[in-house]
Chain A
Amino acid sequence: MGKISVLIFNYYKINLLSMRDFSAHGEGADDNKRLISPDLDSMVDALRSVDRVHADRIVKESCNSDSPVLCLEKLIVPALEEIGRLWESGELALSQVYMSGRICEEIVDTMLPPKDPQRTSHPKIGIAVIEDHHTLGKRIVASVLRAGGYEITDYGHGISAADLAETVIRDKVKIMLISALMLPAALSIKEAAAMIKEQQPDTVIIVGGAPFSFDSMLWKDVGADAMGLSAIESLELVRRYTGEVKE
């Protein structure tokens, strides 16, 4: 029943087994007992209610405008992490995750504009939807990464494996996030990954999308380095890999 399906939509269903190799959750972490400050609690409530005005007010009242990175670290990223956890536990819907990402992206863009040196001092990161034309997953991940302070190059959607590989190699992308909605598109990542790795073995390929959530072995089949089954997982992976890959 094809297309819109899942986007089905289960783009973001966590699969803990598949994350063992590269989990961004630290050892000993206990998500259920995580301390939440009053500001963080209010921010999460504002985001899950899709209340832009309230979210903006919390940031203005809580953060020093001279320290945008501190605001990211202490308020916005933890709030998005909490939103991600609530989604993973089935307490929030994908639509709320999307809107949370949009709201945070807009807030961060005002505090830390694109091209700001504090945002761009990391290896080049790209994102694209291969073969498919449904862009919601890419949009959510890009929003969360930007809200996390990263500068992302969006290579669009419906891009073929060969064109994607050529672009990644040409632009010397160091971390490439590839989204796929349907199984044939996911399988085409194998061709792109092989071409990229041949020319740039250090480029990290992170995949995501519905087929990967329904088949926990698929990311290995296509030659990816990791899969991010939620936007927050993708952010955690990018944070990890930006510390490992060379610029």
Chain B
Amino acid sequence: MSEYMTPMQRTLKTMEFCEPDRVPLFLLLTMHGAKELGLSIKNYFSEPEYVAEGQVRLQKKFGSDCYFGFTYAALEAEAWGSDVIFIDNGPPNAGRPVIREPEDIEKIQVPEISECPCLQNTLSIVERLNKAADGNIPVISAAVSPFSLPVMQMGFEGYLDLIYSGSPLFDKLMKKNEQFCISWANALFDAGATAVAYFDPLASPDIIDSELFRRTGLLTAKRVISKVKGPMAMHLASGRALPAIGDISETGCTGVAVSAFDDLAAVKEACYGKITVMGNLNGVEMRRWTDDVAEAKVKEAISAAGHGGGFILTDNHGEIPYQVPDSVLYAIGKAVRKWGQYPLD
């Protein structure tokens, strides 16, 4: 058995396609910190010290190998001027879109990160977590891709209509969004993020056909990732990755998050030596797992993708639902420590 490693050492080792002491576990808990602190979700997200404190407590409690310096996906839509709708038991929704007619694309201004309190809050969270980590725990954050952000900026239907219309407004929107995404991701790295997820559900062939993606979102991803100063992982947020691995490997990303519907072993084989695979526990189903089921699911994932490193165990969506009880999170952590020790056999 390998010598004990810190979460940072463990993560870096696996990303070098070598076997660390055990499989790293990223429990991406965005809302459970509110429970820890006895706060509502809205109140929890209102102050950076709350989220940072929540992350520190959760990491200690469940033995995750990262801090998650992320609040909610609608944050970036909020920065562009969209409404955000908070609920009591789940992530905030993006509300009324800022682009109501395609022509609004000409008018919208790229937000200045320093002038957006919501973005500054997240940067403050990342700074606090970086300080708490002291180089021993990776601080993960996320930026929504310029290609997927319009779903929140203008609604999914309006965006698909725009893509298929062939209007030059699509290119104008990508240009503005790329400018913002590069600035935002770099700001996260400046604040102390170790890695940033490039959150691009529309990159999945479940959502956009591969040919269209190659002419649009793939070009965007290449342009953005090449201009960001730190490692980015392509996150398809439950969308299948396997049919798109060839395209994803061209983007310059260092990791890819895999769907519960993907064949994890096949994805690992396609990625090995090039991209670290992250996945693929089913977060929705997780809320009713027993200890035995949690252990079986963890064991199955590690068996499929753990050999040789290049694998981080996490959920398939990038956010574990608020309804998942602590007992399941404990069981997952316990199972990783039982079945994830290298060598696996």
Contacts and interface: CB of A to CB of B under 8 A. Distances in A.
Interface of A: 1-10, 13, 50, 90, 92-96, 98-99, 131-136, 139, 158, 182-185, 187, 210-211, 214-215, 217-218
Nearest to A5: B237
Given A1-B317, A184-B89, A9 B28 contact: no
Given A1-B70, A7-B151, A9-B237, 8 more contacts: A2-B319, A3-B72, A5-B201, A7-B201, A8-B239, A10-B259, A90-B206, A217-B288
Nearest to B142: A1
B90 A6 contact: no
A2 B73 contact: yes
B284 interface: yes
B261 A13 contact: yes
Contacts of A98: 157, 160
A95 B260 contact: no
A215 B94 CA distance: 24
Contacts, number: 149
B199 A1 contact: yes
B284 to A, nearest CB: 4
B74 interface: yes
A1 B318 contact: yes
B285 A214 contact: yes
Chain B, interface SS category? loop
B148 interface: yes
Contacts of A99: 160, 164
A184 B86 CA distance: 12
Interface string B79-99: 000000101011111110000
B73 A6 contact: no
A3 B91 contact: yes
27 contacts: A1-B28, A1-B142, A1-B199, A1-B237, A2-B92, A3-B91, A3-B94, A4-B73, A5-B201, A6-B237, A7-B207, A8-B201, A8-B207, A9-B201, A10-B239, A90-B205, A90-B206, A90-B243, A93-B205, A93-B206, A135-B157, A183-B284, A183-B323, A185-B90, A214-B260, A215-B282, A218-B284
Given A5-B318, A9-B201, A182 B206 contact: no
A139 B148 contact: no
